[in-house]
A and B are shown apart, each in its own frame.
Chain A
Amino acid sequence: MSHFQPSTAFEASDGELELLPFRFERLDGDQYLVSNLVGDMTFLSGPDLRRLAALDLAPDDALYALAFEKLLLRRKGQRAPLQLLAMRQRSRSSFLRTPTQLHILVVTLRCEHSCPYCQVSRRSTDRDRYDMSFETAARAVEVALSSPSPHIKLEFQGGEPLLNFDLIRAVVPFAREKAEAAGKTLDFVITSNLALLNDDVLAFCKTHDIVLSTSLDGPEDLHNRNRPRPGGDSHQLAVEGIRRAQATLGKERVGALMTTTEASLGRVEEIVDEYVRLGLDGIFLRPLSPYGFAVKTKQYAKYDSRLWLEFYERGLRYILRLNREGTYFPEFYATLLARRMLSDIPTGYVDLRSPAGIGLGALVYNYDGKVFASDEGRMLAEMGDRTFELGDLATDDYASIILSDKLIDLVGRSLTQCAPQCSSCAFEPHCGADPVYHHATQTDPVGIKPLSGFCARQKGIMTLLVDLLENSPEDAAVLRRWAA
């Protein structure tokens, strides 16, 4: 049909093309991971990357189609690619307009466990010294509610917060009343090992719609080894607590967090099985954090990020298999990152923000009234490093904390968009600044990224996820469901 033009009539001619900003990361064997301005990722071979960079594209070139779809190039004068990138970049940054939502109250430092990896707890019976007072808690609630956010999450932590349950019992109705007067909505979480859970606590949680978050490190022997307590029955108590809480509050109102230790490394399947067996709604395969007792007891140095990544990949692949076989059970870190890779809706996850989420995403009120930019910052202070201490409830209010020179300086230095090696990193759109981690490990909030365990883990997990999303359709379908 002569009145139809051939496909070649619509292909770009020489000199008509122009690159859009993109970044790349070298992988093994002359393979590259390429990401556009807003983090759409694809794999390219070395020759293809160099051909793309030189705009050396043949007509009817598969590389052209890929590059156009991934917003890596445009024809000169085209406006849609720029508008799409601008709109998406704006959406990705919109978390900046959401002020501090998470407020953590450390209601006591005391704990009946003596976990070697624990950051901060005290095995002490000295209530006066390590418990938060009602006056301090009330002041923390007032500061939290004066954050501009219309929705506030209050988390009770410890130590073991149930050792100071009387305070929680008093603060919750107080906070509800204040929130109502301020026209804000409130969510409550108690982070507890559940060893002290009783009907009284459960009834209170039920009445006040409180979520329970607990610790479960895996099967009994591993859990009890990681989490010693008098009687050696931590696992049994946690499992009983989870079951009772699930029965009373509902399965979706109970979550568990695991901590990885050297002893966990070879046992990821068993750990996952334990979570599935207990009907928990997913698992967060976490790295051991370099704070508090974890550093003092040399736990942190015992395995490096490479070993942890092997553990993570093995665990994730095992979990994906369970999902493919019909059990919906997400791994939460992969979910979080997949959500960032597959949509432009900001996740607000405090550790994966730039500027950093310290203070701006979360505030921590210690038992003694000291205010910290993050939970890890509080742990550092327990070790004598007060870098992330922002103020004191006795003298400060929300504005003086958030606008403190200290926080502004820390946040200002935390921009990955201009940090060495981050600024040219292909993963940067999905990553974040973790100034507390880098301060703790390198005494520098920016950190030298080639030496950073955080950086190595992030790159490793994200490369794995992009590989699954691009090259493994069944796993990609599972990841998409998690991220939905």
Chain B
Amino acid sequence: MKPLALSGRAIAVNAREGAPNHQVLRLVTPADPRVRGPQDAVLVKGGGSVPTGPPSGLVVQVGGEATLAEPGTICLGDEFDYLAAGDVIAVHADSRRVRTLYRRASRHNSFLTTERCNHYCLMCSQPPKNIDDRWLLDEIAAALPLVDPATRSFGLTGGEPLLQWERLVALLAQARDVLPNTAVHVLTNGRAFASPEIADAWAAIAHPDLSAGIPIYAAVDSIHDYVVQAEGAFDETVLGVLRLKERRQRVEIRVVLHSITAPRIVETATWLARNLPFVDHVALMGLENTGFAIANDALLWIDPIEYRASLARAVDILDAARVPTSIYNLPYCVLERPVWPFAAQSISDWKNAYLPQCDQCAAKRSCAGFFSTGRPKQSRAIEPLRTFDLTQA
């Protein structure tokens, strides 16, 4: 189980004189008939021959020997072999640092907007850093015009994207204009929306398919605030959800399940069904054991089998209140049969994996599987299912 390398170091970057140190590039095939702009680089796999004189003069070579010394050539190792035409990468020439920003074939593209955050969640998979990374938004702005307009959706994550809300709003307006058919899902703690000014600005974008994914870890302020390590967070987050819904914006509530939140999942679902039944989606999510979750393993780990029954009740409570509900990140074998139809293949493709015994399982093709990131930890209940029929769930 190993995730895809979405970032790494180039073997060699032979920059041309005068070229900017940081570049965002779209990869195209040598045979691509489309007009190529200055952001397009020809992708060459293995020892394939390099076409002479691409208009931009840029070549990205993956694998093979790094023998190409022509200026304008970037040589990547085999870990980037997944790259394909239409993908977008970012390259820092000085440090040779390369990051894949967008994969055209993936349903799980997301852009990191910042590593700064006003939360410090016990299980954060992307531990926040207090650094100046405002260039990340510039990079996304440069990448958006290179994204295939047929892309169904992409995510914006952090950190807390709304910390720079004015710039984020501008970016979303840009997405609305250049990718009008692409849904955008922003993962935010929602606290910024407690300010009517920010909620108004968000609604005024009038993006055709924009939603905010907002975590509520418990319906008790002290528990939620403890999980996110920020006093007053619960109150602002709930206010933020209300402000967005008052403005008819789409909101998803995300509940990550670990040993602090899972024991109250029935109460949390009951509270959501009573108080926020108008949200557009609730995701009840298995824990990704990476980042701070590893550091806090002793505090957070709970075998999903322990909360299997209460998770099923929670789903039933939300479903009966007509709240669209999904279970994320948990394989069928740890879920009660009646809630199988709610389980989604939610784990991003680049970090989604299956165990050796999954090859014997009848449900593998539609199962969420596992995270390959961090230090994966498995339930004792994992076992191949002999038969699998969702209609009989």
Contact = CB atoms under 8 A, between A and B. Distances in A.
A236 to B, nearest CB: 39
Interface stretch (A131-139, A240-248, A268-276, A475-483): A475-483
A88 B275 contact: yes
B270 to A, nearest CB: 8
A65 B236 CA distance: 18
B320 A83 contact: no
B246 to A, nearest CB: 9
Contact of A80 (B235, B264, B273, B313): B235
Contact of B321 (A3, A65, A88, A342): A342
A287 B122 CA distance: 55
Given A1-B295, A10-B226, A68-B219, A480 B316 contact: yes
A80 to B, nearest CB: 4
Interface string B321-335: 110000000000000
Assign chain A's interface to a size class.
20 to 34
A11 B222 contact: yes
Interface string A48-69: 0000000000000000110011
Contact of B222 (A10, A40, A481): A10
A375 to B, nearest CB: 32
Interface string B221-232: 111011001010
B271 interface: yes
B234 interface: yes
A79 B235 contact: yes
B320 A477 contact: yes
A3 B130 CA distance: 14
B376 to A, nearest CB: 21
A395 interface: no
Given A69-B267, A83-B242, A481-B320, A7 B222 contact: yes
B106 interface: no
A432 to B, nearest CB: 20
A424 interface: no
A394 interface: no
B239 interface: yes
Contacts of B321: 342-343, 480, 484
A65 B122 CA distance: 20
Nearest to A68: B220
B235 A78 contact: yes
A438 to B, nearest CB: 31
A65 B320 contact: no
Given A79-B239, A484-B321, A10 B231 contact: yes
B313 A68 contact: no
B238 A84 contact: yes
Contact of B320 (A9, A78, A483): A483
Contacts of B226: 5, 7, 9-10
Interface of A: 1, 3-5, 7, 9-12, 40, 64-65, 68-69, 71, 75, 78-80, 83-84, 87-88, 342-343, 473, 477, 480-481, 483-484
- Counting chain B CB atoms within 10 Å of each CB, the highest count among A64, A342, A483 belongs to A342
Query: Dominant SS at the B interface?
Result: helix
8 contacts: A1-B295, A65-B222, A68-B219, A69-B219, A80-B234, A80-B239, A343-B321, A480-B321
Contacts of B231: 9-10
Nearest to B320: A480
B221 A68 contact: yes
A484 B322 contact: yes
Contacts of A10: 221-223, 225-226, 231
Contact of B239 (A68, A75, A83, A343): A83
Nearest to A67: B220
Enumerate the 9 nearest inter-chain pairs by beta-carbon distance, A residue then B residue, closest first. Answer: A480-B320, A80-B238, A10-B225, A10-B226, A65-B220, A7-B226, A69-B219, A78-B235, A10-B222
Contacts of A342: 273-274, 320-321
A55 to B, nearest CB: 15
Given A78-B235, A84-B275, A484-B321, 11 more contacts: A1-B295, A3-B120, A4-B120, A4-B122, A7-B226, A10-B221, A65-B220, A75-B235, A80-B234, A477-B313, A480-B317
B320 A84 contact: no
Contacts of B30: none
B57 interface: no
B277 interface: yes
B125 to A, nearest CB: 15
Contacts of A11: 222
B296 interface: yes
A64 B313 CA distance: 23
B242 A87 contact: yes
A47 to B, nearest CB: 21
A65 B274 contact: no
A87 B313 CA distance: 27
A64 B222 contact: yes
B296 A1 contact: yes
A334 to B, nearest CB: 14
Contact of B221 (A9, A75, A477, A480): A75
A5 B236 CA distance: 20
Contacts of A40: 274
